[in-house]
A and B are shown apart, each in its own frame.
Chain A
Amino acid sequence: MTTPSTLYQKLVASHTVAVLDEQNVLLFCDLHLMNEYTSPQAFAGLHEAGRGVPVPGQNVAVVSHIIPTHPVRWRTIQDPPSALQATNLKANCDRHGIPLFDTNDPLQGIEHVIAPEHGMVRPGMVIICGDSHTTTYGALGALGFGIGTSEVEHVLATQTLVYRLAKDMRIRVDGVLPRGTTAKDLILMVISRIGAQGARGYVVEFCGSAIGALSVEARFTLCNMAVEAGARGALIAPDATAIDYVLAKAPDIAGDVRAQALAHWATLHSDEGAAFDAEHVFDAADVAPFVTWGTSPDQAMAINATVPRPQELADAVQRSSAEQALRYTGLVAGQSLQGVPVQHVFIGSCTNARIEDLREVDRIVGSRHVAHGVRAMVVPGSGAVKAQAEAEGIAERLVAAGFEWRQPGCSMCLAMNDDVLAPGQRCASTTNRNFEGRQGRGAITHLVSPAMAAAAAVTGCITDVRTLEVPA
Chain B
Amino acid sequence: MSADHHTIVHGQAALLDIANLDTDQIMPKQFLRGIDKSGLAPGLFYDLRFDGEGLPRPDFVLNQAAFQGVDVLIAGSNYGCGSSREHAVWGMQQYGFRAVVASSFGEIFYSNALNNRLLLAMVSEADVQAFKAQAAQLRGPLAITIDVQQRMVRSAGHSAQFVLSDRHQSMFLQGQDVIGASLAYADQIQAFAQRHWAAQPWVKDVALRTRARLQAQRTQD
Contacts and interface: CB of A to CB of B under 8 A. Distances in A.
Interface of A: 14-15, 17-18, 20-21, 23-24, 26, 28, 30-31, 37-38, 40-41, 44, 49, 51, 54-60, 66, 79, 81-82, 84-85, 88, 97-100, 106-107, 118-120, 122, 124-125, 130-132, 146-151, 153-154, 157-160, 162, 164, 196-197, 200-201, 230, 232, 250-253, 257, 260-261, 264, 296, 317-318, 320-321, 324, 414-416, 423, 433, 435-438, 441-442
A252 B185 contact: no
A349 to B, nearest CB: 13
Interface in B183-202: 183, 185-186, 188-189, 192-193, 196, 199-202
Interface stretch (B2-10, B133-141, B143-151, B208-216): B208-216
23 contacts: A18-B188, A20-B167, A26-B189, A38-B84, A54-B186, A57-B206, A60-B207, A81-B33, A100-B211, A118-B214, A120-B206, A131-B84, A146-B84, A149-B86, A160-B182, A196-B81, A197-B77, A318-B19, A321-B19, A414-B83, A415-B29, A433-B83, A437-B28
A250 B207 CA distance: 11
B182 A158 contact: yes
A130 B84 contact: yes
Contacts of B106: 200, 230
Contact of A147 (B19, B84, B206): B84
B209 A252 contact: yes
A418 to B, nearest CB: 11
Contacts of B166: 21
B203 interface: yes
Nearest to B115: A150
Interface of B: 17-20, 22, 24-25, 28-29, 32-37, 47, 52, 76-78, 81-86, 89, 104, 106-109, 111-112, 115-116, 165-167, 178-179, 182-183, 185-186, 188-189, 192-193, 196, 199-214, 218
Contacts of A88: 35
Contact of A23 (B47, B52, B167): B167
A105 B36 CA distance: 25
Given A21-B166, A200-B104, A264-B200, A122 B206 contact: yes
Interface of B is mostly: helix
Contacts of A59: 207
Nearest to A264: B200
B204 to A, nearest CB: 7
A40 B35 contact: yes
A176 to B, nearest CB: 32
Contact of A252 (B104, B189, B202, B207): B202
B157 to A, nearest CB: 21
Nearest to A298: B20
A250 B33 CA distance: 35
Contacts of B85: 37-38, 148
Contacts of B17: 320
Contact of A125 (B47, B193, B203, B218): B203
A415 B29 CA distance: 7
B82 to A, nearest CB: 6
